[in-house]
Chains A and B, each alone.
Chain A
Amino acid sequence: MPSSSHTAETGWRRVFSGSIADVTAASAWVERIAASLKLPGKLTFAMQVCLEELMSNIARHGKVHSFPTETDADNPLSISIDIDVLADRIAMTFEDNGRPFDVEKAPAKVVDQPLEQLWPGGLGINLIKSFSHNIEYRRTDAGNRVTVDFMR
Protein backbone atom coordinates (compact mmCIF):
# COMPACT_ATOMS: atom_id res chain seq x y z
CA MET A 1 0.00 0.00 0.00
CA PRO A 2 1.27 3.50 -0.74
CA SER A 3 2.29 5.59 2.23
CA SER A 4 1.61 9.29 2.21
CA SER A 5 2.55 12.47 3.99
CA HIS A 6 1.97 16.16 3.56
CA THR A 7 4.64 18.61 4.70
CA ALA A 8 3.10 21.95 5.66
CA GLU A 9 1.94 23.77 2.52
CA THR A 10 5.13 23.39 0.58
CA GLY A 11 5.25 19.79 -0.46
CA TRP A 12 3.88 16.28 -0.56
CA ARG A 13 5.51 12.87 -0.52
CA ARG A 14 4.12 9.46 -1.27
CA VAL A 15 5.60 6.03 -1.92
CA PHE A 16 4.16 3.71 -4.57
CA SER A 17 4.89 0.20 -5.76
CA GLY A 18 5.93 -0.51 -9.33
CA SER A 19 2.51 -1.90 -10.23
CA ILE A 20 0.41 -0.66 -13.16
CA ALA A 21 -2.42 0.08 -10.72
CA ASP A 22 -0.13 2.38 -8.75
CA VAL A 23 0.72 4.38 -11.89
CA THR A 24 -2.98 5.23 -12.08
CA ALA A 25 -3.17 5.84 -8.32
CA ALA A 26 -0.22 8.23 -8.50
CA SER A 27 -1.80 10.16 -11.36
CA ALA A 28 -5.01 10.58 -9.35
CA TRP A 29 -2.94 11.72 -6.35
CA VAL A 30 -1.20 14.38 -8.45
CA GLU A 31 -4.55 15.52 -9.84
CA ARG A 32 -5.92 16.00 -6.31
CA ILE A 33 -2.87 18.02 -5.28
CA ALA A 34 -3.08 20.15 -8.43
CA ALA A 35 -6.76 20.79 -7.72
CA SER A 36 -5.97 21.83 -4.14
CA LEU A 37 -3.37 24.27 -5.49
CA LYS A 38 -5.80 25.51 -8.15
CA LEU A 39 -3.19 24.90 -10.85
CA PRO A 40 -4.22 25.55 -14.48
CA GLY A 41 -5.51 22.49 -16.34
CA LYS A 42 -2.64 22.62 -18.82
CA LEU A 43 -0.05 22.46 -16.03
CA THR A 44 -1.90 19.62 -14.29
CA PHE A 45 -2.00 17.71 -17.57
CA ALA A 46 1.75 18.25 -18.12
CA MET A 47 2.51 16.93 -14.61
CA GLN A 48 0.36 13.86 -15.25
CA VAL A 49 2.03 13.18 -18.61
CA CYS A 50 5.49 13.22 -17.04
CA LEU A 51 4.39 11.15 -14.06
CA GLU A 52 2.71 8.57 -16.29
CA GLU A 53 5.74 8.19 -18.56
CA LEU A 54 8.31 8.08 -15.77
CA MET A 55 6.34 5.65 -13.62
CA SER A 56 5.32 3.35 -16.46
CA ASN A 57 8.97 3.19 -17.60
CA ILE A 58 10.01 2.12 -14.12
CA ALA A 59 7.09 -0.32 -13.78
CA ARG A 60 7.84 -1.96 -17.14
CA HIS A 61 11.63 -1.89 -17.24
CA GLY A 62 12.95 -1.33 -13.72
CA LYS A 63 12.55 -4.77 -12.24
CA VAL A 64 16.16 -5.91 -12.44
CA HIS A 65 17.49 -4.47 -9.24
CA SER A 66 20.67 -2.56 -8.61
CA PHE A 67 22.14 -5.05 -6.19
CA PRO A 68 22.78 -8.56 -7.54
CA THR A 69 22.45 -10.25 -4.14
CA GLU A 70 18.84 -9.12 -3.80
CA THR A 71 15.91 -10.60 -5.65
CA ASP A 72 12.68 -8.93 -6.68
CA ALA A 73 10.88 -10.71 -3.85
CA ASP A 74 13.37 -9.45 -1.27
CA ASN A 75 13.40 -5.94 -2.63
CA PRO A 76 10.23 -5.11 -4.53
CA LEU A 77 10.16 -2.11 -6.79
CA SER A 78 9.45 1.10 -4.91
CA ILE A 79 8.89 4.59 -6.31
CA SER A 80 8.75 7.65 -4.07
CA ILE A 81 7.40 10.91 -5.41
CA ASP A 82 8.02 14.30 -3.85
CA ILE A 83 6.07 17.31 -5.05
CA ASP A 84 7.56 20.61 -3.94
CA VAL A 85 5.76 23.86 -4.50
CA LEU A 86 8.23 26.68 -5.08
CA ALA A 87 7.69 30.35 -5.85
CA ASP A 88 8.28 30.01 -9.58
CA ARG A 89 7.76 26.30 -10.23
CA ILE A 90 6.54 22.89 -9.17
CA ALA A 91 9.25 20.25 -8.78
CA MET A 92 8.39 16.56 -8.94
CA THR A 93 11.14 14.20 -7.79
CA PHE A 94 10.99 10.46 -8.45
CA GLU A 95 13.27 8.02 -6.64
CA ASP A 96 13.22 4.33 -7.45
CA ASN A 97 15.27 1.26 -6.60
CA GLY A 98 15.19 -0.15 -10.14
CA ARG A 99 18.00 -0.69 -12.57
CA PRO A 100 19.92 2.38 -13.80
CA PHE A 101 18.23 4.47 -16.46
CA ASP A 102 19.37 8.00 -17.27
CA VAL A 103 16.20 9.57 -18.61
CA GLU A 104 17.96 12.92 -19.05
CA LYS A 105 20.38 11.46 -21.63
CA ALA A 106 17.91 9.07 -23.25
CA PRO A 107 17.03 9.99 -26.86
CA ALA A 108 13.73 11.83 -27.35
CA LYS A 109 12.22 9.78 -30.15
CA VAL A 110 9.33 11.11 -32.22
CA VAL A 111 7.50 9.66 -35.22
CA ASP A 112 10.00 10.17 -38.03
CA GLN A 113 9.29 7.25 -40.36
CA PRO A 114 6.41 6.33 -42.64
CA LEU A 115 3.94 3.88 -41.09
CA GLU A 116 5.38 0.85 -42.88
CA GLN A 117 8.78 1.35 -41.25
CA LEU A 118 7.58 2.71 -37.93
CA TRP A 119 8.17 0.75 -34.73
CA PRO A 120 5.17 1.53 -32.53
CA GLY A 121 6.80 2.47 -29.24
CA GLY A 122 9.44 4.46 -27.40
CA LEU A 123 7.75 7.87 -27.55
CA GLY A 124 7.59 8.47 -23.80
CA ILE A 125 10.97 10.18 -23.31
CA ASN A 126 10.06 12.88 -25.81
CA LEU A 127 6.78 13.49 -23.97
CA ILE A 128 8.61 13.92 -20.65
CA LYS A 129 11.01 16.42 -22.22
CA SER A 130 8.26 18.22 -24.15
CA PHE A 131 5.87 18.64 -21.22
CA SER A 132 8.42 19.67 -18.54
CA HIS A 133 10.65 22.72 -18.39
CA ASN A 134 13.71 20.97 -16.99
CA ILE A 135 14.77 17.44 -16.16
CA GLU A 136 17.70 16.27 -14.05
CA TYR A 137 18.87 12.71 -13.48
CA ARG A 138 21.21 11.40 -10.81
CA ARG A 139 22.22 7.85 -9.99
CA THR A 140 22.24 7.41 -6.21
CA ASP A 141 23.31 4.61 -3.87
CA ALA A 142 19.66 3.61 -3.61
CA GLY A 143 18.77 3.77 -7.31
CA ASN A 144 17.58 6.47 -9.70
CA ARG A 145 16.60 10.02 -8.86
CA VAL A 146 14.83 12.20 -11.44
CA THR A 147 13.56 15.72 -10.90
CA VAL A 148 11.25 17.38 -13.41
CA ASP A 149 10.33 21.06 -13.11
CA PHE A 150 7.18 22.82 -14.28
CA MET A 151 7.16 26.61 -14.38
CA ARG A 152 4.07 28.13 -12.74
Chain B
Amino acid sequence: MKLETVDLANGVTKISLAGRLDIQGALKVDGEFAAIAEAKKNIVVDLSEVTFLASLGIRTLIVGAKAAANNGGKLVLLNPQPNVESVLRSSNVDTVMPIINDATPLATVFGA
Protein backbone atom coordinates (compact mmCIF):
# COMPACT_ATOMS: atom_id res chain seq x y z
CA MET B 1 0.00 0.00 0.00
CA LYS B 2 1.44 3.36 -1.05
CA LEU B 3 0.34 6.83 0.00
CA GLU B 4 1.33 10.11 -1.68
CA THR B 5 0.14 13.60 -0.92
CA VAL B 6 0.07 16.75 -3.04
CA ASP B 7 -1.43 20.15 -2.27
CA LEU B 8 -3.72 21.41 -5.07
CA ALA B 9 -5.07 24.88 -5.65
CA ASN B 10 -7.62 26.52 -3.35
CA GLY B 11 -6.53 24.70 -0.20
CA VAL B 12 -7.43 21.21 -1.46
CA THR B 13 -5.12 18.30 -0.65
CA LYS B 14 -4.99 15.18 -2.79
CA ILE B 15 -4.05 11.89 -1.15
CA SER B 16 -3.27 9.16 -3.70
CA LEU B 17 -3.47 5.58 -2.50
CA ALA B 18 -2.17 2.60 -4.49
CA GLY B 19 -2.41 -1.13 -3.86
CA ARG B 20 -4.69 -3.21 -1.66
CA LEU B 21 -6.52 -1.35 1.10
CA ASP B 22 -7.06 -4.59 3.02
CA ILE B 23 -6.30 -5.30 6.67
CA GLN B 24 -2.55 -5.18 6.05
CA GLY B 25 -2.74 -2.10 3.81
CA ALA B 26 -5.01 -0.26 6.24
CA LEU B 27 -2.69 -0.95 9.16
CA LYS B 28 0.21 0.38 7.12
CA VAL B 29 -1.35 3.74 6.16
CA ASP B 30 -3.78 4.39 9.05
CA GLY B 31 -1.48 6.65 11.08
CA GLU B 32 -0.21 8.76 8.20
CA PHE B 33 -3.66 9.07 6.61
CA ALA B 34 -5.24 10.22 9.88
CA ALA B 35 -2.43 12.71 10.55
CA ILE B 36 -2.86 14.30 7.12
CA ALA B 37 -6.64 14.46 7.50
CA GLU B 38 -6.32 16.09 10.93
CA ALA B 39 -3.99 18.75 9.48
CA LYS B 40 -6.06 19.53 6.37
CA LYS B 41 -9.56 20.69 5.58
CA ASN B 42 -10.62 19.72 2.07
CA ILE B 43 -9.30 16.37 0.86
CA VAL B 44 -9.57 14.38 -2.36
CA VAL B 45 -8.62 10.72 -1.99
CA ASP B 46 -7.56 9.31 -5.36
CA LEU B 47 -8.58 5.62 -5.35
CA SER B 48 -7.84 4.93 -9.02
CA GLU B 49 -4.85 2.70 -8.15
CA VAL B 50 -6.55 0.89 -5.26
CA THR B 51 -7.30 -2.65 -6.41
CA PHE B 52 -9.06 -3.98 -3.31
CA LEU B 53 -11.00 -2.47 -0.42
CA ALA B 54 -11.94 -4.19 2.85
CA SER B 55 -13.98 -2.94 5.79
CA LEU B 56 -10.83 -1.91 7.64
CA GLY B 57 -9.89 0.21 4.63
CA ILE B 58 -13.31 1.85 4.79
CA ARG B 59 -12.62 2.53 8.45
CA THR B 60 -9.42 4.35 7.43
CA LEU B 61 -11.41 6.54 5.03
CA ILE B 62 -14.17 7.28 7.57
CA VAL B 63 -11.65 8.30 10.25
CA GLY B 64 -10.15 10.72 7.71
CA ALA B 65 -13.56 12.06 6.69
CA LYS B 66 -14.49 12.69 10.32
CA ALA B 67 -11.21 14.57 10.85
CA ALA B 68 -11.80 16.73 7.76
CA ALA B 69 -15.35 17.45 8.92
CA ASN B 70 -14.04 18.45 12.34
CA ASN B 71 -11.88 21.01 10.55
CA GLY B 72 -14.93 22.37 8.75
CA GLY B 73 -14.02 20.63 5.51
CA LYS B 74 -14.88 17.57 3.46
CA LEU B 75 -13.28 14.37 2.17
CA VAL B 76 -14.30 13.01 -1.24
CA LEU B 77 -13.33 9.85 -3.14
CA LEU B 78 -11.97 10.13 -6.67
CA ASN B 79 -12.16 7.52 -9.45
CA PRO B 80 -12.57 4.21 -7.58
CA GLN B 81 -12.26 1.08 -9.75
CA PRO B 82 -15.65 -0.64 -10.32
CA ASN B 83 -15.08 -3.44 -7.76
CA VAL B 84 -13.89 -0.98 -5.15
CA GLU B 85 -16.84 1.29 -5.89
CA SER B 86 -19.21 -1.65 -5.36
CA VAL B 87 -17.74 -2.12 -1.85
CA LEU B 88 -18.21 1.57 -1.11
CA ARG B 89 -21.79 1.70 -2.37
CA SER B 90 -22.88 -1.57 -0.72
CA SER B 91 -21.74 -0.09 2.60
CA ASN B 92 -23.52 3.26 1.94
CA VAL B 93 -20.16 5.01 2.29
CA ASP B 94 -21.11 7.31 -0.57
CA THR B 95 -23.74 8.88 1.71
CA VAL B 96 -20.99 10.46 3.84
CA MET B 97 -18.13 10.65 1.32
CA PRO B 98 -19.13 11.73 -2.20
CA ILE B 99 -17.68 9.66 -5.05
CA ILE B 100 -16.47 11.90 -7.87
CA ASN B 101 -14.56 11.49 -11.13
CA ASP B 102 -12.09 13.59 -13.11
CA ALA B 103 -14.93 15.44 -14.80
CA THR B 104 -16.25 16.76 -11.50
CA PRO B 105 -15.04 20.35 -10.89
CA LEU B 106 -13.39 20.54 -7.45
CA ALA B 107 -14.73 24.08 -7.06
CA THR B 108 -18.23 22.59 -7.14
CA VAL B 109 -17.32 19.86 -4.65
CA PHE B 110 -15.68 22.12 -2.09
CA GLY B 111 -17.26 25.43 -2.94
CA ALA B 112 -13.74 26.82 -3.27
Contacts and interface: CB of A to CB of B under 8 A. Distances in A.
> Looking at chain B's contact residues, is the secondary structure mostly helix, strand, loop, or mixed?
helix
A115 B94 CA distance: 11
Interface residues of B, number: 24
B101 interface: no
B93 A124 contact: no
Contact of B62 (A24, A112, A118, A131): A118
A47 B93 CA distance: 21
Q: Is the interface of A mostly helix, strand, loop or mixed?
A: helix
A111 B91 contact: yes
Contacts of B69: 115-116
Given A24-B24, A120-B66, A111 B55 contact: no
Contact of A130 (B58, B65, B90): B90
B54 to A, nearest CB: 5
Given A21-B24, A23-B24, A127-B90, A118 B66 contact: yes
A106 to B, nearest CB: 13
Contacts of A23: 22-24
A130 B87 CA distance: 9
A40 B62 CA distance: 30
Contact of A53 (B20, B27, B54, B96): B54
A120 B63 contact: yes
14 contacts: A21-B24, A23-B24, A24-B23, A52-B22, A56-B22, A56-B55, A111-B62, A112-B92, A115-B96, A120-B58, A120-B63, A121-B59, A124-B55, A126-B91
Interface of A: 20-21, 23-24, 27, 41-42, 45, 48-49, 52-53, 56, 59, 110-112, 114-116, 118, 120-124, 126-127, 130-131
Given A123-B55, A130-B90, 8 more contacts: A21-B24, A27-B52, A52-B52, A59-B23, A115-B66, A116-B69, A124-B55, A127-B87
